[in-house]
Structure 1
Amino acid sequence: MGRRRRWGQAEVAAAAMVTAAGGSWALQPLLLLLSLCGLCLAAEIGPPSDVQVEAIDGLIRINILAPGSTDKTPMWEASDFSYLVELRKNGSNEQKQIKLASNNERIDKLSPNTTYCLRVKAQLNAGEKEGSFSPEYCVHTESADANVLPRPENVRIHALNTHFVLKWDWDEAYGENVTFLVECCRAYDKKYMASNCWHAVPSCKEVTTSECDLSSEIWFEGTYEFRVRAISGTEERAWSKEITCNPSKDTEIGPPSKVEINLINDSIEIKISHPGEDTNKSMKDIQGFYDLSYRIFVWKNTSDKWEKCFEDEHTLYTLPVSELNPETYCLKVQAFSQMSNKSGHFSAIKCITTEAGNNPVVLVVAVFFLQHCCLQFYSCFLLRCL
């Protein structure tokens, strides 16, 4: 539902309705609010106030001014809307519908040297209310030029722990003198600042390879968009398609930074360091991963099936083993977070041989920074140790 920032004709009309209805003055503010809500819901959404389209480098850039933006007292905020575009080739009745999340977007994967026509209508993000279509606008895409630098394609982000790398595909046939520039925009800023949010990533200027480290640019709060373009001398080509990065959702949990196993007095001691600790950026300290815990899989080296699997949050955990003869045990460790619903990469497999003795061998697991444990094999199975 739209939000109003100041009094206008709708509010005046609602106030008049409340006054005419009479009743207690104590109830009039509530009646006024209900009347305003009814007016907002009943209000018709017109076409966008303005639509600007531009064809450049084989794509269409579109900038939309929200319905009612030019009114003296707008009924809705610009951020209340998303948009639906109906696109067709000139001379054809076959239409393609494209949903736009914001008012400043691009439409790519178009044919060169072709005239496209489009019209736009707004949709309220809250509810299913839609506006009417704008007039139709037509633009002509450029002819393909084999001598012109293309846009980088297949832009993607590889995220592991707190390490983020932007990668893209590039044809090396365009020469060795091509460099790349990466720009960033916070999604929040793009929504409220339109095109003014973009800024160059300091570590990604004049890049000579088809990847760039974004780690210094990204925090785990918020959502980001990135784009990249090729540069050759004074020639700067169009930007690639923007890619969105939500760090908390997109990152993968890496393996534990270190897993140490030692044989101490008929017991095996295992020490685990959190993922990222080797770079001084422990995942345990990242918002959304404070509950980081571990699954530990243990099996005999002579078997291809693990014997024990347990989840533990204690700093010390013991698991009796029945064999008295020397035996080699192997294990691997996986971090997981129920808060983020993620399971991490496994550690490398490590093995150790126990010694013969008169007492049962005890497997001791010292898992740092943990608090709870799963004592039964069946419980571990339910907790998805398989």
Structure 2
Amino acid sequence: MFAHLGLTTLFLVAGAPWVLPATAGRTNLQCPADIEVYIIDDTFTLRWTRSAESIGNVTFSAEYQGPEMYDWIKLPGCQYITSTKCDFSSLKKYAYEQIKLRVRAEEGNDTSPWCAPVSFIPYNQAHIGPPKVHLEAEDKAIILNISPPGTEDSVMWKMDRSNFKYSIVIWKNSSSIKTIEITSSRITINDLLPETTYCLKVKAGLLLKRTSIYSPVYCINTTVENKLPPPKNIRVISKNQRYILTWNYTHENVVFQAQWLPAYFKKIPGDHSGRWTQIPNCENVRTTECVFPYDARGGGIQKEIYSVRVHASRGNNTSFWSEEEELNMERLITIPPPVITMKPINNSLRVDVGSQNKSEYQQYPLTYEIIFWENTLNAERKVVEVSTDFTFSNLKLLTVYCVKARALILDQAWNSSSNFSTPVCVKTRPVFLRAAIKKSVAFHF
């Protein structure tokens, strides 16, 4: 009977190991050890160590099991490998899903057992590669354009390309100058020396995830000092439904030009220099200010933030652009002090609060803070209400009381307030006058 079952069956019945003995021309193979997955950006590498027995013509192969898969599939790029590592970047499509890998050794028709599977989610395992940096030189500044780790079609960082933070180390003459932390992919480093070599390196990081190693060192020479310096101290204020852009400049007989760029572009990797546009009424300006309306971008007040820059020109000479200033349209809205009227009614005072130029901030509900006091005392009482009318009752007769108020905008992303109005003071009347109280707030001094 045994003669018909064959040699393999004989070994199974005898309880011997499944591998054939060396005398039959086969070798005992051990499972590879120290299985390791190393991922940097979109490059996936599988590593292992060979056993002492894995010598000669031994190769290695790997299999994977993807999400909701019951069968093991040959891992592309990792079949019959003679070294102890292989590239399996083709599996980057599973960047955010759990996969399993296993490896075995092979020699001819002989194979080792499969090693214990390694289970992981590539995104959680991935290291961040160094960013790429492109430099542009000015006379006293260097412009950095940083490309996020990976490539533009990166699968691993597809959702994170605009979330990277960057740390920049810059130096000259082998001495460290500064370390700069930024959240955008473009920055201008100002206040440098002309005709000087500067070197820098950059690393990238994500919140709650490790940072990359530093990029290679990049060096660049600043240029000869420009005949026209850029404008300084760029400022934007709001007044009478207008924005006023101002700056400082000492040279005469020059004209200025101002541009702006929606700030969200700075969160998008790439060169957006072509997206800067002219600010209305701020071209060929011969003074150090220009005025443009709230609706210059269309649609009235917008909840947007812009970067603003200015340069100067004289004939064929043009300065570099100034440092960029932030224009937050919401936060520049000026709320004027409210208008107060107060009417005595017996031992009560009726206060009406009105707003000025409501069209500037009509999309925001106003809250009013009322300060109320007896004219001869220092004690004050405060009321904060959305209502525009208040009645203070149970007051002393024939006594002077004063009121002042300010308007508040209490928004989740922005809080602002006006100055207090000029105090208004009124004397209460005798008790025999008819009371007309719409809303009562009792105060006792």
TM-score, normalised with respect to structure 1: 0.73
> C-alpha root-mean-square deviation of aligned residues, in Å?
3.8
String of CA shifts for 1:152-180, please: whole Å, max 9, x gaps. 22223335796543332222xx11x2222
> Aligned to 1:201, what secondary structure does the other structure show?
strand
String of CA shifts for 1:13-66, please: whole Å, max 9, x gaps. xx933269738xxxxx99972449821222222222x42212113100111222
| Counterpart residue identity of residue 228, structure 2 | L
Distance 1:170 1:110 in 2: 19
| Counterpart residue identity of residue 267, structure 2 | K
What's the offset of the Cα at 1:185? Answer: 0.8
- Asked if residue 154 in structure 1 is aligned to residue 230 in structure 2, the reply is no
Distance 1:363 1:209 in 2: 57
CA contact (8 A) 1:118 1:136 kept: yes
What's the offset of the Cα at 1:324? Answer: 2.0
- Asked if residue 223 in structure 1 is aligned to residue 305 in structure 2, the reply is yes
- Asked if residue 86 in structure 1 is aligned to residue 169 in structure 2, the reply is yes
What's the offset of the Cα at 1:114? Answer: 1.8
Distance 2:429 2:394 in 1: 12
Distance 2:303 2:170 in 1: 35
Match of 2:352 among 271, 291, 300: 271
Distance 1:356 1:264 in 2: 6
What's the offset of the Cα at 1:314? Answer: 3.3
| Counterpart residue identity of residue 231, structure 2 | P
Question: Which residue in 2 is equivalent to 1:238?
Answer: 320
Aligned length: 337
Unaligned runs of 5+ in 2: 1-41, 45-62, 72-92, 101-119
What's the offset of the Cα at 1:349? Answer: 1.4
CA contact (8 A) 1:309 1:377 kept: no
Would the alpha carbon gap of residues 234 and 20 (structure 1) be closer, same or farther in structure 2, given more than 3 Å must change? same
> Aligned to 2:176, what secondary structure does the other structure show?
coil
Considering fraction of residues, name the structure with more helix.
1
| Counterpart residue identity of residue 66, structure 2 | V
Unaligned runs of 5+ in 1: 1-7, 24-28, 367-372, 379-386
CA contact (8 A) 1:190 1:197 kept: no
Match of 1:141 among 219, 222, 233: 222
- Asked if residue 261 in structure 1 is aligned to residue 341 in structure 2, the reply is yes
CA contact (8 A) 2:163 2:267 kept: no
Distance 2:240 2:121 in 1: 48
Match of 1:295 among 366, 369, 385: 369
CA contact (8 A) 1:86 1:118 kept: yes
Q: How does 1:67-216 map to 2 (within 5 A)?
A: 67-69=149-151, 73-77=154-158, 78-89=161-172, 91-124=173-206, 126-144=207-225, 148-159=227-238, 164-171=243-250, 174-175=251-252, 177-192=253-268, 194-214=272-292, 215-216=294-295
String of CA shifts for 1:55-96, please: whole Å, max 9, x gaps. 1131001112222216x654324324232211000x323252
Would the alpha carbon gap of residues 31 and 98 (structure 1) be closer, same or farther in structure 2, given more than 3 Å must change? closer
TM-score, normalised with respect to structure 2: 0.64
Q: Which 4+ residue blocks in structure 1 deviate beyond 6 angstroms?
A: 29-32, 360-366, 373-378
What's the offset of the Cα at 1:201? Answer: 0.7
Distance 2:438 2:138 in 1: 61
| Counterpart residue identity of residue 141, structure 1 | T
> Aligned to 2:64, what secondary structure does the other structure show?
helix
Question: Which residue in 1 is equivalent to 2:37?
Answer: none
Of 223-232 and 343-352, the range deviating more from structure 2: 343-352
Question: Which residue in 2 is equivalent to 1:17?
Answer: 65
Considering fraction of residues, name the structure with more strand.
2
Distance 2:130 2:321 in 1: 29
> Aligned to 2:264, what secondary structure does the other structure show?
helix
Distance 2:334 2:311 in 1: 30
Distance 2:244 2:99 in 1: 52
CA contact (8 A) 1:113 1:141 kept: yes
| Counterpart residue identity of residue 215, structure 2 | S
CA contact (8 A) 2:257 2:311 kept: yes
CA contact (8 A) 1:253 1:342 kept: no
Distance 1:355 1:75 in 2: 73
CA contact (8 A) 1:271 1:365 kept: no
Q: State the identity %.
A: 27
- Asked if residue 337 in structure 1 is aligned to residue 409 in structure 2, the reply is yes
Would the alpha carbon gap of residues 115 and 363 (structure 1) be closer, same or farther in structure 2, given more than 3 Å must change? farther
Question: Which residue in 2 is equivalent to 1:51?
Answer: 133
Would the alpha carbon gap of residues 238 and 30 (structure 1) be closer, same or farther in structure 2, given more than 3 Å must change? closer
